Structure 1
Amino acid sequence: MRLAVFGDIHGNLPAFEAALNDIRGQSPDALLCLGDVAAMGAWPRECIQLLASLDCPVVLGNADEDMLEPRPFEVRGFPDEREIYDLDEWGRAQLTEVEIGLLKGYKPTVELSGLLAFHGSPEQCRESIGAATSDERLAELRATFGTHAVWVGGHTHAPLLRTLNGWRLLNPGSVGLTFEKRGGRYVNTSRAEYLILDGDDVQFRRAGYDVKAVQAGILERRMPYAEWWAGAWVAG
């Protein structure tokens, strides 16, 4: 089965549309979404609705969970955490009962033939697993959640292919919120990331999109800290 795997859309409709256009050119047999669909972007409703139209399995991400069960703000020592919290609250306020109902249909994990999909980890959508995760922690998780040949998760926004004792851990990166450090600050770049999994073959792909469309959407929809948030987006 030729499978297109994507996630961490984060309400970025231009990025989502660009990724889907590129995915169609790859002629996959099936699609799989790893969650975090709406939060932080100017198009939360539209992204949830577009994803629903694809009729594919969707994993529940931590940002999706927060839209269903809002958490009070708390200081954790992360950069821009007050601003990000308010962006999430704005996005949640845009949703209707229709979108809330769709979010409730997302699953903690999804199992396909030989594959286990999740957002952060199969145990907790907020846990980050990746290149630095210890073999011991991965062994603990596999003892609980099964020894599928392929595990695929999101959350870190960092593409990953890690091979361990005959199985693989994958991350497609992020569709709508890729970021990198430039000039001493983090910026969001205009590339939508996903992967194609076809048997043993893994293809990491990127689709470019118009960063000005994202900036315009942020400003026109009067998101919190709109000037600051729009300024965090760069081409490339």
Structure 2
Amino acid sequence: MIQIAVFSDVHGNLPALDAVLNDIEQRGIRQKFCLGDLVDFAPWGNEVIEKIKSLNIPCLLGNHDERIAFDLPVFPLSKHSEEETEARFIAIDHSKKYITEENKNFLAELPFHLKLNYKIGNKHWNIQLLHSGLESNDTYLYESENDAVFMNMLEDSKADLIVMGHTHLSFKKQFENRKWAVNCGSVGRSKEENRLASYLILRLDEEQIFPEIIQIAYPLEETVRGIEESNIPDYYSAFLKNEKVSLL
């Protein structure tokens, strides 16, 4: 059996990333992949990038990575409140100033997609890794999405399983043809009620793919303190604690 760990959306949260990487190591899983969004919303963007680089973990280009790497403009999103919109502009501007040129160049060279093929016995498994969509790294696909959307993605990518991140909400969907669509959730900025760091373990044998969502605790107060001692708005520390905060 082959084991693979896939994680996404670290968003500068080094304590959460360390906890996930330690959990993966303790499980004896050697193959690791990241689906992007290394930066923004917590103060360790450079440190997260350096960790990914030092461990040679293959990583995709997330929408936040792209924005920082190429200094793209930030536009308000209709789904965000006025409070979150203001906090988002400040946090992203912080990353644009704080991330080093060397690390921006690293982000700029990240691949958009990654296709994996594993052979076990006579079986080839094709696994499509992407940040959010096949055409865009800023597509929001939730568990409630019509099955046909995922089936079309599986067909277009000629994959047995697609793994994505971006929404910060994990899910697993299996279809009648035994193919899968999986969201591995977020390491550093989970939008799930428990706010735990989330990642995916894939186990492959000759007959089946077994996806398992893993959710673990990490030193949340360390992240909260890091945000509050930085120029990143306290909105993001309150978010991690499931609290509301006013920017006024």
User: TM-score interval w.r.t. the shorter chain?
Assistant: 0.7 to 0.9
Q: What does residue range 1-236 of structure 1 map to in structure 2 within 5 Å?
A: 1-77=2-78, 78-79=80-81, 80-113=84-117, 114-144=126-156, 146-164=157-175, 165-180=177-192, 189=195, 191-199=196-204, 200-223=209-232, 225-226=233-234, 228-234=235-241
Greater mean deviation of Cα atoms: 118-127 or 96-105: 96-105
1:106 is displaced (CA, Å) by: 1.3
Query: TM-score, normalising length from structure 2?
Result: 0.84
State the secondary structure of the residue aligned to 2:216: strand
State the secondary structure of the residue aligned to 2:46: helix
Q: What runs of 5+ residues in structure 2 fail to find an aligned partner? A: 118-125, 243-248
Q: Which amino acid aligns with 1:208?
A: A
State the secondary structure of the residue aligned to 1:112: strand
Residues in 2 aligned to 1:134 and 1:231: alpha-carbon distance in whole angstroms: 33
State the secondary structure of the residue aligned to 1:217: helix
Q: Is the 8 A contact 1:123 1:141 kept in 2?
A: no
Residues in 2 aligned to 1:180 and 1:138: alpha-carbon distance in whole angstroms: 22
Q: Which amino acid aligns with 2:226?
A: G
Residues in 2 aligned to 1:204 and 1:75: alpha-carbon distance in whole angstroms: 31
Q: What runs of 5+ residues in structure 1 fail to find an aligned partner? A: 182-187
Q: Is the 8 A contact 1:119 1:125 kept in 2?
A: yes
Query: TM-score, normalising length from structure 1?
Result: 0.88
1:180 is displaced (CA, Å) by: 4.1
Q: Is the 8 A contact 1:116 1:150 kept in 2?
A: yes
User: Residue 123 and residue 21 in structure 1: after superposition, are their counterparts in 2 closer, same or farther (change >3 A)?
Assistant: same
Residues in 1 aligned to 2:128 and 2:112: alpha-carbon distance in whole angstroms: 11
User: Residue 180 and residue 192 in structure 1: after superposition, are their counterparts in 2 closer, same or farther (change >3 A)?
Assistant: closer
Q: Is the 8 A contact 1:151 1:169 kept in 2?
A: yes
State the secondary structure of the residue aligned to 1:14: helix
1:171 is displaced (CA, Å) by: 1.1
Alpha-carbon displacement from aligned partner over 1:177-236 (angstroms, at most 9, x marks no partner):
01246xxxxxx83x211111011222211221112101211122232x33x43333328x
Residues in 1 aligned to 2:239 and 2:154: alpha-carbon distance in whole angstroms: 38
1:143 is displaced (CA, Å) by: 4.5
User: Residue 220 and residue 198 in structure 1: after superposition, are their counterparts in 2 closer, same or farther (change >3 A)?
Assistant: same
Residues in 2 aligned to 1:101 and 1:201: alpha-carbon distance in whole angstroms: 36
- The percentage of counterpart residues that share the same residue type is 27
Alpha-carbon displacement from aligned partner over 1:61-118 (angstroms, at most 9, x marks no partner):
1111111233334343322112112201101211112111211221110011111100
Q: Is the 8 A contact 1:3 1:30 kept in 2?
A: yes
Residues in 2 aligned to 1:51 and 1:197: alpha-carbon distance in whole angstroms: 20
Q: Which amino acid aligns with 1:175?
A: V
Residues in 2 aligned to 1:123 and 1:155: alpha-carbon distance in whole angstroms: 14
1:170 is displaced (CA, Å) by: 0.9
